[in-house]
């Protein structure tokens, strides 16, 4: 009887061990959470329509929104310029539909303001932004999931008070130190609206972001990617320190020409011929690597092959 009981116990133990979920890092086939990023979703302003060509920008934005609604795993990050004029309530309708659909499905949506949220009347635009994202600190915050830490920072430095800028800098340094020391964090991604580096002929590069944030980003052994918008293009750079930077301002904003070929200010790692006009970004951790996927379409709404990078 004792022998029979022991056999039963061993069989049960063997079956039980087979049913224990494998923790991340033990199996290369382990599925990790996908994080979706989009920036510069605003429709063109009236003055922009006069000086630049439009490409059904509102339809493009809505098409990207629908893709993200149908595909995302529950985490969506919006890097500013959600609308053309943040102070105008009617311009939020498309974004509001997008946010409602995502939240109704259980997705978590995070955002930082761009310059268009402050445009013309910040006293109305920023409250409109905060109404949609009431739990998110305006100067910056950190989201952690699946061994990743996403540091979201408000880069509208001219709009922040001296106290806000000082507080943000102190918080940024502290949180980066904490993430570097935390063994549960494998990778860190830093996000702003304004791009520290861009070949855009319209908005260029943000010296303020370079001076305030880049040194600490490059010092961290865990940082994999610095993501920004503002330039309505897809751009990818590598600094002398070996750190990657991506510009992802393809959410619907009007076209912004780039300095190309021998006129480039920074060496773009993605061929201009391969780039979509409208797009969003998907990040997924693959054990010790970060897989980056760009999905989008041309100005004529023709789907282009996905662009994939491993960092």
d(CA 280, CA 191): 14
d(CA 25, CA 238): 27
Residues 177-197: pLDDT tens digits?
999 999 999 999 999 999 999
The predicted pLDDT at position 31 comes to: 67
Residue 42 gets which letter from DSSP? P
Confidence of residue 45 (pLDDT cuts 50, 70, 90): low
C-alpha distance across the termini of the chain, in Å: 58
Specify the 3-state DSSP secondary structure of 101.
helix
d(CA 236, CA 245): 6
Tokens at 222, concatenated: 């865990």
Residues 133, 140 contacting (CB under 8 angstroms): no
* pLDDT above 90 (res 28): no
Confidence of residue 293 (pLDDT cuts 50, 70, 90): very high
248: CB partners within 8 A, 6+ apart: 37, 38, 39, 79, 227, 228, 229, 234, 279, 280, 281, 294
* pLDDT above 90 (res 20): no
* pLDDT above 70 (res 5): no
The predicted pLDDT at position 58 comes to: 87
d(CA 247, CA 6): 62
């Amino acid at each position: 009887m004792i022998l029979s009981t022991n056999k039963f116990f061993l069989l049960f133990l063997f079956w039980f061990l087979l049913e224990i979920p494998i923790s991340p890092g033990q199996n290369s086939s382990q599925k990790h959470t996908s994080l979706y990023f989009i920036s510069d979703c605003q429709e063109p302003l009236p003055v922009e329509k006069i000086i630049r060509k439009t490409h059904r920008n509102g339809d493009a934005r809505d098409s990207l929104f629908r893709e993200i609604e149908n595909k995302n795993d529950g985490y969506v990050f919006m890097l500013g310029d959600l609308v053309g004029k943040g102070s105008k309530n009617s311009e939020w309708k498309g974004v509001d539909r997008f946010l409602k659909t995502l939240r109704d499905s259980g997705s978590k949506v995070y955002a930082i303001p761009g310059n268009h949220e402050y445009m013309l009347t910040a006293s109305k635009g920023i409250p409109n932004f905060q109404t949609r994202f009431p739990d998110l600190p305006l100067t910056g915050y950190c989201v952690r999931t699946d061994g990743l830490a996403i540091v979201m920072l408000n880069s509208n430095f001219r709009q922040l008070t001296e106290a806000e800028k000082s507080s943000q800098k102190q918080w940024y340094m502290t949180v980066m130190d904490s993430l570097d020391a935390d063994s549960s964090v494998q990778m860190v991604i830093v996000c702003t609206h304004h791009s520290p580096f861009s070949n855009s002929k319209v908005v260029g590069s943000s010296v303020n972001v370079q001076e305030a944030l880049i040194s600490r980003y490059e010092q961290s052994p865990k940082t994999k990617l610095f993501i920004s918008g503002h330039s309505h293009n897809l751009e990818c750079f590598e600094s002398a320190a070996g750190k990657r930077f991506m510009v992802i301002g393809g959410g619907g904003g009007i076209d912004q020409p780039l300095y190309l070929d021998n006129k480039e200010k920074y060496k773009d790692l993605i061929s201009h011929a391969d780039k979509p006009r409208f797009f969003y970004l998907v990040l997924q951790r693959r054990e010790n690597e970060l897989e980056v996927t760009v999905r989008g379409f041309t100005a004529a709404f023709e789907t282009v092959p996905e662009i994939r990078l491993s960092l």
